Amino acid sequence: MSCCDLAAAGQLGKAGIMASDCEPALNQAEGRNPTLERYLGALREAKNDSEQFAALLLVTKAVKAGDIDAKTRRRIFDAVGFTFPNRLLTTKEAPDGCPDHVLRALGVALLACFCSDPELAAHPQVLNKIPILSTFLTARGDPDDAARRSMIDDTYQCLTAVAGTPRGPRHLIAGGTVSALCQAYLGHGYGFDQALALLVGLLAAAETQCWKEGEPDLLAVLRGLSEDFQKAEDASKFELCQLLPLFLPPTTVPSECLRDLQAGLARILGSKLSSWQRNPALKLAARLAHACGSDWIPAGNSGSKFLALLVNLACVEVRLALEETGTEVKEDVVTACYALMELGIQECTRCEQSLLKEPQKVQLVSVMKEAIGAVIHYLQQVGPEKQKEPFVFASVRILGAWLAEETSSLRKEVCQLLPFLVRYAKTLYEEAEEANDLSQQVATLAISPTTPGPTWPGDALRLLLPGWCHLTVEDGPREILIKEGAPSLLCKYFLQQWELTSPGHDTSVLPDSVEISLQTCCHIFLNLVVTAPGLIKRDACFTSLMNTLMASLPALVQQQGRLLLAANVATLGLLMARLLSTSPALQGTPASRGFFAAAILFLSQSHVARATPGSDQAVLALSPDYEGIWADLQELWFLGMQAFTGCVPLLPWLAPAALRSRWPQELLQLLGSVSPNSVKPEMVAAYQGVLVELARANRLCREAMRLQAGEETASHYHMAALEQCLAEP
């Protein structure tokens, strides 16, 4: 087909369209466009490629001349099909004297027409064209060529239609569209704004997959957007505030981007703004805080002022939104402010390398206290019908972050809210349990709100545990928590979370929050053991908890990297065993023997004899596994030693079991091999307590200690009680 044929077809198309303008738009009898029907007839009767090509040109022009309905579009597809458009898209030779993109442009125009039908947009013959269409976005050519521009518009129309189908984003990402869109945007050629819009849609629909397939190119776009944001002096900076959160990667944000973003935000938030200008900036800052903590804020005076400004603005926004009853709360903005408040809490409680100066911390604590008061006021108004809403969860989260660090202020208000918090946590826990969706409970919950589904289960207890740990030390709050059933709920939660770490579950993929939650639960139970021992004895849930601790510790102490959790479990179990000593489960059963053997292993392996250069005597030193975490471990270890000592006279079988483990003999041997000056007085007291109770409880223990030079060792360490005990028959 020659260029003359193309020109003739074009003239025929124009003539046909002009003729159709004089005819009725739709044939009244059949409801069809007569001009289009004539062209479709010519297409069906075409005998060769040249005639079919000419007819296709005419059909394409008729389609572009006016709107068509879905039925007409389907009839065009039925007449054309995919075969010839496929050939147009893949041919490499255009007619003599014609631009090489003419055939491809026609093929894309037809696809764009077909893709207006959602069913056709998801057709395999469209989906397999995604790689070809993606290449058109970055193809070089005359930027002023109208035909090329039209082809680019049609290409974006095809890709956008595919993106709107249920599985379309996945197909586009797999077809290389993300990188092509990034390159098209960075090239700032014709249609680059359409590339950015489609990128935004893909990131919103399938963020993880987009970054997996196109991270280098997406980072290049982020660098460009960040630089534009930093330089912008007009209203575009507010538009960029809305776009930029979508382009923050799930991994590390490049440092140059962080600098540009912080500088741009500092200029915006340091100015007098209306709410529509300020809110996107606060949301962008919140996303950065959630992704990077405070690492994106520079150190020094400018950084501290900027952080203080962020937190102050966030607190004001929270108070304005939550204190005024009857006003509609902009939940996305307030949730973003919660993230900035959480950042403020973290920095105010950081002792080393904090961005804030002490006067700034004092001021921020004051304004955050007022904002938390507004959060409490809001939560007091929440009825049962709202408890599943994400914003309520976000409000509980920020309150939990505050209570984790501060429980002395707002004590009256917090106590009044405790019944609601217990009921709320119980509701979400039970709903998640019924759904058997444990993975959602332990997943990290983004502070930035996403579109929620019909239900939004969340692990509210995980957020409240640190605050409850502080509150169980105080009489008033503890009584409220007990009255509302919090201990029973915590026992169930502990057992449920423990299941996630049991055999059959891949503990390597569990988030750290699971183990932290278990440890914090142990701390709460330890508080209750000390302050409310009667509760431990009478509430059946603690018997179940004790059984789980006994069954779990033997395997736990053998696992690498879980020593701190083992310490919590061992110490809690020992203290509870002292209170539940009459329970049948503790009367020398296999489970109880296994538990105490594991507890002895934990207590006995903490210290070793270590040789010192230039000295004949070794010194007592921490064993390697304990050394790095001793600051967090030592209180539990001493408490565990004390609890074990208290269990010995209550459980007659325990002293013989300890003797069979050779712990008393090895302990005396260790003390005899090191310099007494290297053993701190508190260590001497802890060791003597265990040895004395074992010696008093069992004659064979006393004899074994004597054979291990126990009396001499007791004399060296001034253990008068042990020395006296071993002197008895």
Whether 674 has a pLDDT exceeding 90, the answer reads yes
pLDDT band at 104 (very low <50, low <70, confident <90, very high): confident
Is 490:542 a contact under the CB 8 Å cutoff? no
| Residue 316 CA to its chain's centroid (Å) | 27
The values of phi and psi at residue 354, to 5°, are -75, 145
Residues 6 or more apart whose Cβ sits within 8 Å of residue 313:
269, 278, 282, 337, 340
The pLDDT tens digits of the residues spanning 619-652 come to 999 999 999 999 999 999 999 999 999 999 999 9
Global pTM value: 0.83
In this predicted structure, the answer to whether residue 81 has a pLDDT above a threshold of 90 is no
pLDDT tier at 615 (50, 70, 90 boundaries)? confident
The pLDDT of residue 664 is above 70: yes
Torsion sign, CA atoms 120, 121, 122, 125:
positive
Are 370 and 413 within 8 A, CB to CB?
no
pLDDT at 84: 72
Q: Which helix (H) or strand (E) holds 76?
A: helix 70-80
pLDDT value for 594: 97
Average pLDDT score over residue span 19-24: 32
Is 553 in contact with 559 (CB distance < 8 Å)?
A: no
Class of residue 314 by CB neighbours under 10 A (exposed 0-12, middle 13-18, buried 19+): buried
655 vs 663: CA distance, rounded Å: 10
Select the highest-mean-pLDDT range: 39-43, 513-517, 523-527: 523-527
Average pLDDT over residues 237-246: 92
More confident call, 21 vs 180: 180
Tell me how far apart the terminal alpha carbons of the chain are, to the nearest angstrom.
119
CB neighbours of residue 153 within 10 Å:
16
Predicted confidence (pLDDT) at residue 30 exceeds the cutoff of 60: no
pLDDT in tens, 243-285: 999 999 988 999 999 999 999 999 999 988 888 889 999 999 9
What radius of gyration do the chain's Cα atoms show?
36
pLDDT band at 65 (very low <50, low <70, confident <90, very high): very low
SS3 content of the chain, % helix, strand, coil (to 5): 75, 0, 25
Return the sign of the alpha-carbon dihedral for residues 401, 407, 408, 414: positive
Per-residue DSSP letter, 606: S
Enumerate the β-bridge partners of residue 298.
Answer: none
Q: What is the pLDDT of residue 12?
A: 30
- Does residue 470 surpass a pLDDT of 70? yes
Please report where in the chains the tokens 């060792």 appear, as a residue. 713
Which of these ranges, 86-90, 125-129, 132-136, 673-677, has the smallest mean pLDDT? 86-90
Q: What is the pLDDT of residues 283-315, one digit of tens each?
A: 999 999 988 999 999 989 999 999 999 999 999
- Residue 505: its pLDDT value, please? 60
Decide which of 212 and 324 is more confident. 212
pLDDT of residue 96: 64
Residue type, 54: A
Kindly state the tokens that stand for 120: 């056709």
Q: Check residue 115 and give its pLDDT.
A: 87
- The answer on pLDDT for 700 being more than 50 is yes
The pLDDT tens digits for 417-461 are 999 999 999 998 888 754 334 333 323 333 443 333 333 446 889
How much is the mean pLDDT over the chain?
A: 86
Phi-psi label, residue 443: left if phi above 0, alpha if psi -120 to 50, beta otherwise: beta
> Per-residue confidence at 504, pLDDT binned at 50, 70, 90?
low
Under the banding of pLDDT at 50, 70 and 90, the label for residue 110 is confident
pLDDT digits (tens, 9 = 90+) for 313-369: 999 999 999 987 667 888 999 999 999 999 999 999 988 888 999 999 999 999 999
